Structure 1
């Protein structure tokens, strides 16, 4: 065994004494051990109104129910942990009073730091306390740069610093220690090696369960649509838009799976937030995350849209941007847009021009052409109770780390070149889109690199072509300069 990855054959409790595990669950339990979790336990644990992502709730459950059994003692430990370390907002005044009385608190929260150059200071944001100008030891931002800007989930030790009249400092909360939530050391080679123990159907079911869905409730085609949502997380610089009616769970996986993805919900977005804040000398979201997701994209707008869209188009093409005379910044982040569209009585898009009711920049062909894929979310059912996963799957923090580290793993593009059978187009943007998408599907389904020509064509090239074909179809509808193209494969 490489590194200090958890050993195989570490037991994970079954879903229920009355419900036998499915073949993929049994294998996952036996082969991957404690990096798997019973998703049903998290549903049963009862986190109340606390709005926390799945990787946080799973982290709490597995540490307080290490045997995989959610008995009365485990429930009590979870309640105690929540009350002590994950307070609700209505407890904030009580917590502030404890700090004022000299107590030190250890809080699990989504901390973030903003730099104020004018005052040569850094301000810590603590959401559960509604605190926006707490202090933080400088070495913590140097050690954990993810704190800067959008922030990161972790455990922080907080104390109260009383007012200092000699130095004209107000009283304030201060973070003295911080430990980000992170998975134990990841052995990616072992993850890829263990893939060989599963059939393709078993592996796909395991991935779907790890996303938080019930694989038995979805057809193979629908499962492939769900996995498509992961492609921008596992493959660098993939730009995608998913169109669907409300309630199909477009944002579910991004909210719950990866700490390397940042979801921005509707409203106005500025160039400073997205690219670079010149006033604060601080990189924006595209520099901090693997994927930036615009939810509710039908209501998306930009401050100074001419500047933002211009810089964004350059970035989608080149992977770099410059703003306000600053040095050009290169990053590998992808862009995902999630938008609601109306359907007809047959659950098909009401308009042939899919972007008809979306912001005007999404009808600009120069922008659309830089999008690699249109995911037909209208072919997925509305999320209901039976679609939520309650079986064995990878822990969300572990799976999110796997996706993050697979982004830089080499060899999958070479598999595409070996099996490339694309016909009907020689357009550079088409080929870049298809190759990146196909490599992403390969990383998800065949991370060990062992795949036949037939399987690679069926499960990597075919879905990649279909995703790009929808883009080309929209381009030809919107602009006569784009000829109709029928992309195929042999």
Structure 2
């Protein structure tokens, strides 16, 4: 076995020796042993946390021997009972939990695979390993047989003599936090991925994909986080919650009951929401709940982290995050064309806007790679027991105020939007910056993702519920510069050439025609401090260049009414790029769009979403009629335009537009340059 370590492996071994494991060793042993991953990783981390090839080989042999001698398979429980009796003392690997029997005033240990339910255990051992009282720990346990221990006439011969935990029995996250400083942000991101079993250098794992994969961990570090991922099969949607932590539970489709999830009617015992860090519904595209009345309880819980149930003794709280995972079988473009991105969910919730609006984060699973052998790392990462404790320890910390250090959220975000966005950023900070040290640029990156993931929910709600969810132009404002940035959705951009988000200053769309050929045109304008130069690029055609020059000269001649003294053209150099998005020949008719692009760029004002403008402005300021009016408006509408401003002189041609175009696109008219700007600036 040849051991090849990279620089990151060396750094991990230097700062986290004993807490890291070579992930491909786990896969090698997992094939031959029916043992929980975290048991394997604990043993490997203790035996093979080195870069010495011979030591790793000996370590693996040692792990195999330990498993062969001491790991208990459930079907061997009777044999184990016999071995403990015959030998007097015997070591086993099993999961041990403890309960206090107040009637007899004794602690009883329960050994899961060995099927021992009433083993004697001392109070000092219980105090040493308190997690045995909180669901149990995996451990190497020395058992003793003593037939002389009796309560009444019943013999309780099994005694827990000694415990060596396999899961960490005591955890202090200072080591995790302190040593973060030895790694760059990029290195730490790669460590998180390798700790999750993923190789960050694999083909197709871009920076964006890395962050999206890491975001699957947010429900484990952020309490009451409602997470949705819909995507193709084989993208690892549930792997995190099945294999990376003992603190999450996966519920199969249709198995969610009120008793299991919330509270048991007769015993009053709180269900999964009070016991786990994350509850994952594995097939959220199938039936979720066994009973209808689980849905209103889940809505209450997803909103506030609490619920009330008749007979349960008032309000009950929990901190479990809710994770919905489901498969999608069609191309994303088809789903968007025919319905919405929430339609694949179970019919019991996919039109319930109150339920869906409680989803904080919609991860686009269609962007995730289908996992192949190349995607699984062979390098070192944190061992699962250590990693899961690191994640759990972060749940106690709150970073929801980080966004406000640098940014304000735009006006379209309501309270139900700001909470998910802040919790998402908080989750990224906990995962990538557990030491609390981050930069403005890093927070901006996480905030952009957070806004996108929440906006994806809101956009689909708009399709389902209409005007109630109309405010979807999510943005953030830099507190230093007051510059507002709008966040769009990749799938919306891909389905339309004209984006359905507020246009950046200096960007505008139009359409031209040379008689038969229509062309969709994008105009981009950059304004820098200068001496009054105009530069036009992107086309060799004379007519559109003349349109732009005429518009520029009109602004220059009327600066006192159009601009103020501080924004005189003589103080700027203006570059205008003209791009054909559809069609080949850029013809005349782009003057009005160029006017809006120039003015918005100078004043740094965003333009309305999905905006296009037809018409020319002459050198004297006259608004010229748009030729081929109906064809141009139809073309713009088909490619995503929701608002097409047209010259007043085209008013009598409005009747020529097809009803389908008028139904999808607003077509207001303008008669002069002032009317034009009033109708296009965002917020006007």
Using the size of structure 2 for normalisation, the TM-score is 0.61
**Aligned mate of 1:476, from 462, 479, 485:** 462
2:194 is the alignment partner of 1:209? yes
Q: Tell whether 2:182 aligns with 1:197.
A: yes
Say which structure, 1 or 2, has more relative contact order (CA 8 Å, 6+ apart): 1
Offset at residue 122 of structure 1 (A): 10
Match of 2:394 in 1: 406
1:50 maps onto 2:38 in alignment: no
1:49 and 1:34 map into 2 onto residues whose CA distance is: 22
Aligned to 1:318: 304
Please show how residues 253-402 of structure 1 align to structure 2 within 5 Å.
253-306=240-293, 308-323=294-309, 324-344=311-331, 352-363=339-350, 364-402=352-390
Cα distance in 2 for partners of 1:351, 1:127 equals 50
Show the counterpart of 2:596.
none
CA distance in 2, matches of 1:43, 1:359: 34
- Tell me if structure 2 keeps the 8 A contact 1:136–1:176: no
1:240 equivalenced with 2:227 (yes/no): yes
CA 1:81–1:348: 2 relative to 1, 3 Å: farther
1:465 paired with 2:451, answer yes
RMSD value over aligned CA atoms? 3.6
The reply to whether residue 229 of structure 1 matches residue 216 of structure 2 is yes
From 3, 6, 21, the counterpart of 1:37 = 21
SS of match in other structure, 2:138? strand
Post-superposition Cα deviations, 1:188-246, rounded to whole Å, max 9, x if no partner, equal: 34533433332222221111111111111111111111111111111222111111222
Q: Could you tell me how far 1:318 is from its partner in structure 2?
A: 1.4
Q: 1:371 to 1:256 in 2, by over 3 A?
A: same
- Once structures 1 and 2 are overlaid, which stretch shifts more, 355-364 or 111-120? 111-120
Deviation (angstroms), 1:349: 7.4
The alpha carbon displacement at 1:250 in A equals 1.1
- Contact map agreement 1:45 1:61 (CA 8 A) in 2: no
SS at match of 1:297: coil
Encode CA deviations 1:69-90: one digit per residue, 9 max, x unaligned. 4555333322221122223345
8 Å contact from structure 2 (residues 229, 362) kept in 1: yes
Supply the distance in 2 between the matched residues of 1:463 and 1:424 (Cα, whole angstroms).
18
TM-aligned CA deviation for residue 92 of structure 1: 4.0
What stretches of structure 1 of length at least 5 have no aligned partner? 1-14
Whether 1:249 aligns to 2:218 is no
Q: TM-score w.r.t. structure 1 length?
A: 0.82
| Higher alpha-carbon deviation: 208-217 or 111-120 | 111-120
Contact 2:356–2:461 at 8 Å: present in 1 too?
yes
1:109 to 94, 113, 125: 94
Q: Within 1, Cα distance between the matches of 2:338 and 2:71?
A: 46
Query: Following TM superposition, by how much is the alpha carbon of 1:396 offset from its aligned partner in structure 2, in angstroms?
Result: 1.9
Q: How does 1:35-114 map to 2 (within 5 A)?
A: 35-46=19-30, 48-53=32-37, 55-65=38-48, 67=50, 69=53, 71-99=56-84, 101=86, 103-111=88-96
Counterpart residue number, 1:5: none
Please give the secondary structure, in 1, of the residue aligned with 2:319. coil
Is the 2:18–2:46 Cα contact (8 Å) retained in structure 1? no
CA distance in 1, matches of 2:439, 2:151: 73
Q: Which moved more, 1:115-124 or 1:208-217?
A: 115-124
Q: Distance in 1 between matches of 2:295 and 2:104?
A: 32
Q: Once the 2 structures are TM-superposed, how far is the Cα of residue 436 of structure 1 from its aligned partner?
A: 0.4
The 10-residue stretch of structure 1 (252-261 or 233-242) with the greater mean CA deviation from structure 2 = 252-261
Q: Which secondary structure does the structure 1 equivalent of 2:118 belong to?
A: strand
Equivalent residue number for residue 11 of structure 2: 27
Instruction: Mark the CA change 1:121 to 1:389 in structure 2 (over 3 Å): closer, same or farther.
Output: same
SS in 2 for 1:240: strand
SS in structure 1 at match of 2:448: helix
Asked if structure 1 preserves the Cα contact closer than 8 Å seen for 2:278 and 2:322, the reply is yes
Q: Structure 1 residues 167, 373: closer, same or farther in 2, change over 3 A?
A: same
- More deviation, 25-34/361-370: 25-34
Query: Secondary structure of 2:374's match?
Result: helix
Match of 2:406 in 1: 419
Query: Runs of 5+ in structure 2 lacking a partner?
Result: 477-484, 486-684
Q: 1:454 aligned to 441, 458, 461, which one?
A: 441
Q: Which residue of 1 aligns with 2:488?
A: none
- Determine the C-alpha separation between the residues in 2 that align with 1:204 and 1:390: 16
Q: Is the 8 A contact 2:192 2:381 kept in 1?
A: yes
SS at match of 1:259: coil
Larger Cα-atom Rg: 2
The 3-state SS of whatever aligns with 1:370 is: coil
Deviation at 1:365, TM superposition (A): 1.0
Cα 1:121–1:47 change in 2 (3 A) is farther
The 8 Å contact of residues 29 and 36 in structure 1, kept in 2 or not, is answered as yes
Shift of 1:332: 2.2
Whole-angstrom CA distance in 2 between matches of 1:371 and 1:289: 19
Secondary structure class of the residue paired with 1:191:
helix
Q: Distance in 2 between matches of 1:278 and 1:116?
A: 23
Partner of 2:657: none
Q: Is the 8 A contact 2:139 2:165 kept in 1?
A: yes
Change (3 A) 1:453 1:126: same
After superposition, the Cα gap between the structure-2 partners of 1:470 and 1:92, relative to the gap in structure 1 and judged at 3 Å, is same
Relative distance call for 1:20 and 1:159 in structure 2 (3 A) is: closer
Shift of 1:93: 4.4
